């Protein structure tokens, strides 16, 4: 069995922009083709574990009023053990249950989709392989397989799963196909945006890793779509560098975790544009008043965030409207690699 290496993690990050340009348009076509005969659902319920769950959480705010579909996230065990929550819709067919799994091997998710089908719900698997337990358990399947993937914590697989959910939100907003199409020009623009963001964050990630190397627990805080991104970032730090890490909601951290956090502990706060931006900036100010060093993920031209932070992980000023989650997570793997190198660790092996 091949070993997990930091070189593989770096390669995953380097291929993110290529994947968007090369695989993005085809993914949209497959999604449209699979859903072509389907009515637009009144409700979308998405389930997954680990990175797939975080992608579902990060995609939630793309399903705004324009999407015409309400949105609900369930863990795999919630879906399997408790089923799909009843809604005001008279027919179960008005709900689309989406199972997300990079490997397709999640038994709990496969069981959950099977239960949803037996109860009359429409089901869709967004999965690396159709010939997998999750793929075989759904009515419809959209494959997200990526070529040339060495053993690595999920990075490219996270992006492609997230992209599928963002495209699904546009399909729902437009009332059906061909809304999920991602043409080559738009895919290329997104790819360049991702590549530029990774490049600009390289040095700040190295600086931040040096500040976090002696931190007992790395705490990454975010609200809205950035909550899912914060949880994903914490997972990459655990998997890649073997450090305890927490991804938490802005307000929940202030109400709970701050009371058990030493005042000189660094915090990472995600403050992208959006409805949670004001609260994120206010938390940065409150945390610094308590003595916390603060690193903030924010637009390069965001003076409010810069004023209350010791270090900035810059986001592009030309932000993709509604697709903020596509760039919010990009700092996570590079930061985890830098921290792993400082601590002499490799993925999934603390020592």
Q: What is the DSSP string of 53-88?
A: HHHHHHHGGGSSGGG-SEEEEEEHHHHHHH-SPP-S
User: Within this chain, do residues 157 and 272 fall inside the same structural domain, yes or no?
Assistant: no
Contact criterion met (CB below 8 Å) for 313 and 331: yes
| Edge-to-edge strand ranges of the sheet holding 43-48 | 70-75, 43-48, 95-101, 122-127, 140-143
User: Within this chain, do residues 253 and 294 fall inside the same structural domain, yes or no?
Assistant: yes
For the domain that residue 242 is a member of, what is the CATH number?
3.40.50.10490
Other Cβ atoms less than 10 A from the Cβ of 236: the count is 29
From the list 282, 286, 308, the residue with the least C-alpha distance to 295 is 308
User: Within this chain, do residues 146 and 221 fall inside the same structural domain, yes or no?
Assistant: no
Q: Judge whether 286 lies within some domain.
A: yes
User: Within this chain, do residues 91 and 176 fall inside the same structural domain, yes or no?
Assistant: yes
Predicted confidence at residue 1, as pLDDT, reads: 41
Contact criterion met (CB below 8 Å) for 123 and 113: yes
- Among 182, 217, 248, the domain-final residue is 182
User: Within this chain, do residues 297 and 170 fall inside the same structural domain, yes or no?
Assistant: no
Predicted confidence at residue 37, as pLDDT, reads: 81
User: Within this chain, do residues 21 and 169 fall inside the same structural domain, yes or no?
Assistant: yes
C-alpha distances out from residue 164 to 27, 62, 141, 278, 289, Å = 7, 12, 12, 29, 41
Contact criterion met (CB below 8 Å) for 100 and 143: no
Q: Judge whether 311 lies within some domain.
A: yes
User: Within this chain, do residues 264 and 235 fall inside the same structural domain, yes or no?
Assistant: yes
Dihedral angle over CA of 181, 185, 187, 190, nearest 10: -130
**351 residues of the chain, pLDDT tens digit each:** 468 899 999 999 999 999 999 999 999 889 989 988 888 899 999 999 999 999 999 999 898 877 778 999 999 999 999 999 987 655 788 999 999 999 899 999 999 999 999 999 999 999 999 999 999 999 999 999 887 777 778 899 999 999 999 999 989 988 877 666 788 898 999 999 999 999 999 999 999 999 999 999 999 999 988 999 999 999 999 999 999 999 999 999 999 999 999 999 999 999 999 999 999 999 999 999 999 999 999 998 999 999 999 999 999 988 777 789 999 999 999 999 999 999 999 888 755
Q: Judge whether 264 lies within some domain.
A: yes
Dihedral sign (CA 288, 294, 298, 303):
positive
CA 347 remoteness from chain centre: 19
> Which 3-state string (H, E, C) describes 203-251?
HHHHHHHHHHCCCCCEEEEECCHHHHHHHHHHHHHHHHHCCCEEEEEHH
Could you tell me the residue range of the domain that residue 60 belongs to?
A: 6-182
- Helices (H), ranges, the chain: 6-14, 16-35, 51-59, 76-82, 107-118, 133-136, 156-174, 184-212, 225-241, 250-255, 277-289, 303-307, 325-328, 332-343
Q: Judge whether 190 lies within some domain.
A: no
User: Within this chain, do residues 220 and 156 fall inside the same structural domain, yes or no?
Assistant: no
Q: How far apart are CA 98 and CA 101, in angstroms?
A: 10
Q: Judge whether 351 lies within some domain.
A: no
- Among 182, 210, 237, the domain-final residue is 182
- Among 151, 182, 213, the domain-final residue is 182
Predicted confidence at residue 351, as pLDDT, reads: 54
Predicted confidence at residue 349, as pLDDT, reads: 77
Residue partners of 251: CB distance under 8 A and separation at least 6: 223, 279
Q: Judge whether 188 lies within some domain.
A: no
Residue tagged 């603390």 (tokens): 350
Q: How far apart are CA 273 and CA 281, in angstroms?
A: 11
User: Within this chain, do residues 112 and 234 fall inside the same structural domain, yes or no?
Assistant: no
Q: Judge whether 169 lies within some domain.
A: yes
Residue 48 pairs with which residues in a beta bridge?
Answer: 75
C-alpha distances out from residue 105 to 99, 109, 130, 252, 347, Å = 11, 8, 11, 33, 21
User: Within this chain, do residues 168 and 251 fall inside the same structural domain, yes or no?
Assistant: no
Q: Is 344 left (phi over 0), alpha (psi -120 to 50) or beta?
A: left
User: Within this chain, do residues 260 and 178 fall inside the same structural domain, yes or no?
Assistant: no
Q: Judge whether 228 lies within some domain.
A: yes
The total number of structural domains in the chain stands at: 2
User: Within this chain, do residues 105 and 206 fall inside the same structural domain, yes or no?
Assistant: no
């Amino acid at each position: 069995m091949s070993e997990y290496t930091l070189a593989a993690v770096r390669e995953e990050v380097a291929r993110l922009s290529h994947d968007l340009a090369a695989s993005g348009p085809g993914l949209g076509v497959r999604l449209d083709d699979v859903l072509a005969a389907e009515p637009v659902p009144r409700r979308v319920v998405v389930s997954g574990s680990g990175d797939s769950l975080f992608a579902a959480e990060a995609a939630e705010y793309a399903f705004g009023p324009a999407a015409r579909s309400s949105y609900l996230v369930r863990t795999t065990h919630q879906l399997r053990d408790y089923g799909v929550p009843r809604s005001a819709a008279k027919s179960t067919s008005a709900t689309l249950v989406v199972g997300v799994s990079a490997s397709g091997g999640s038994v709990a998710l496969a069981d959950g989709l099977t239960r949803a089908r037996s109860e009359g719900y429409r089901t869709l698997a967004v999965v690396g392989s159709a010939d997998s337990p999750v793929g075989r358990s759904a009515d419809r399947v959209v494959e997200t397989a990526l070529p040339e993937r060495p053993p690595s914590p999920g990075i490219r697989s996270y992006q492609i799963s997230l992209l599928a959910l963002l495209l699904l939100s546009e399909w729902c907003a437009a009332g059906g196909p061909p809304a999920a199409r991602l043409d080559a020009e738009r895919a290329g623009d997104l790819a360049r945006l991702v590549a530029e963001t990774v490049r600009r964050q390289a040095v700040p990630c190295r600086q931040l890793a040096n500040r976090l190397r002696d931190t007992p627990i790395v705490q990454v805080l975010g609200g809205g779509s950035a909550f899912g991104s914060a949880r994903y970032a914490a997972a990459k730090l655990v998997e890649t560098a073997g450090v305890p890490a927490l991804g938490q909601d802005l307000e929940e951290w202030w109400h709970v975790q701050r009371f058990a956090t030493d005042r000189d502990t660094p915090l990472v706060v995600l403050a992208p544009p959006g409805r949670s931006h004001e609260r994120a900036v206010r938390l940065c100010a409150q945390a610094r008043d308590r003595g916390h060093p603060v690193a903030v993920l924010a637009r390069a031209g965001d003076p409010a965030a810069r004023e209350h932070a010791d270090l900035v992980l810059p986001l592009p000023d030309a932000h993709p409207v509604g697709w903020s989650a596509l760039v919010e997570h990009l700092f996570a793997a590079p930061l985890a690699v830098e921290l792993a190198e400082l601590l002499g660790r490799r993925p999934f092996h603390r020592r």
